[in-house]
Amino acid sequence: MKVLAAMSGGVDSSVAAARAVDAGHDVVGVHLALSRAGGTLRAGSRGCCTIEDAMDARRVADELGIPFYVWDFSERFRLDVVDDFISEYEQGRTPNPCLRCNEKIKFAALLDKAIDLGFEQVVTGHYAHIVDREDGVRELHRASEEAKDQSYVLGVLTEEQLGYCAFPLGETPSKAEVRAEAEERGFVTANKPDSYDICFIPDGDTRSWLGEHIPMRPGKIVDREGEVLGEHTGATGFTIGQRKGLRLGRPAEDGKPRFVLGTDPVENTVVVGPREALAIGEVVGQRFTWAGPRPEADDFRCEVQIRAHAEPVAGTCRIRAADSALRPDAAEAGVEIAVRTDEPLHGVAPGQTAVIYEGTRVVGQFTIDLAVSELDLEEGILARAAGAGTKEHN
């Protein structure tokens, strides 16, 4: 089989490529250049896809005796990931750029080019497991090692894309075993630290980076009823759940601290309220995909995960008619996904990705457009606003 191995320059993709070679495939390695900044180098374990990473990937390819290329996807990355990141923040949402990169770059642009060049499969170093059912349907499942499972960031894969994917590390018991294998093979990446943080913000200071790209406009800080409590210098400088730095003019009536519940980019306001309003009982989204066939039932039990390493929470997923148009890029006009959880979710912000599971299987994912607090659910209110817990009724 003609296989393209996506080689990031890390230990996982190195071993994945090696296992594809061992399996007897005709393997070609490729590294994606996502930035044209010629001097970009890794800062410790921050960032990824740097010049250093490209050189490490080439060294591993030479060890394996396979052809190696660097593909320049920097312009596509800027448009689909970096610009999207800025746009989402401007609209009061908190995006996940790594998921968007998987969706738009690694399993769209890369996969499309691979297919055009005649490759039958794309191999990556992700920790996830693909199951081929007897009826020919491919299912995406969690990896065998739960702590390293990366199925969440692959939740954006569609049924068609899964048909071309392979994850050789999915059933490997531990990362330590992968590192040991890399060391035995003599790979320079064997003890290389894992990357973290946003690759295009290598110093990890997201707030300062956003300040350079989004004009900060002063505005009002308001409570859930819209009463003005203070002023802010820029809404993008606040995160949901933030308590410090609000500098409000007066305390709450009950004397308890207030927390950031969300932002309204149209009114340029920051919404604050009690800690209880941060407990989210339902998440709703109109931009979604299915990792396989669309579920047969419009109402089914599931688990939902809202961050890569968050604990999944049980709930009920509903595919239903949308009450209003929350996104211009909705997957299906007039349709939305809503998950009502059995226990409240915490740290939820519009713009995050919710991945839906049935057991270990990834069913699909959606971008959270609306997070409804337990308080609002108890009061029978379905808030149609950008921020969690705000009351803007239709």
Neighbours of 90 (CB within 10 A): 15
Q: Does domain 2-185 fall into CATH 3.40.50.620?
A: yes
DSSP string, 165-220: EE-TTTT-S-HHHHHHHHHHHT-TTTTPPPPBS-TTSTT--HHHHHHHHS----EE
**What tokens were used for 297?**
């039932």
Name the CATH topology of 279-378. Elongation Factor Tu (Ef-tu); domain 3 (2.40.30)
Q: Is 199 in the active site?
A: yes
Check pLDDT > 60 for residue 386: no
- List Cα–Cα distances, 14 to 24, 188, 358, in angstroms: 16, 9, 31
pLDDT at 237: 80
Where are the domains positioned within the chain? 2-185, 215-277, 279-378
pLDDT in tens, 8-50: 999 999 999 999 999 999 999 999 998 766 444 444 444 466 7
pLDDT for residue 314 is more than 90: yes
**pLDDT per residue over 245-266, tens digit each?**
888 867 787 878 899 998 888 7
Instruction: Decide if pLDDT at 238 tops 60.
Output: yes
Q: Sign of torsion, CA 352 81 291 179?
A: negative
| pLDDT above 70 for 80 | yes
Query: For the residues 347-358, what does the mean pLDDT come to?
Result: 94
- Those residues whose C-beta lies under 8 Å from the C-beta of residue 298, and which sit 6 or more positions away, are 318, 319, 320
pLDDT tens for 138-191 read 999 999 877 689 999 999 999 999 999 999 999 898 899 999 999 999 999 999
Q: Which residues pair with 121 in a beta bridge?
A: 3
For residue 309, give both structure tokens. 């390493």
Q: Is 165 a catalytic residue?
A: no
Among the options 48, 199, 302, 317, which is catalytic? 199
Per the residue annotation, which of 48, 49, 98, 101 is the catalytic one?
101
The residue assigned the tokens 């970009």 is 40
DSSP symbols for 379-390: TT----SSSTT-
Cα-to-chain-centroid distance, residue 115: 25
* pLDDT for the residue numbered 379: 66
Please state which architecture CATH assigns to domain 215-277. Answer: Roll (2.30)
End-to-end, the C-alpha distance of the chain in Å comes to 55
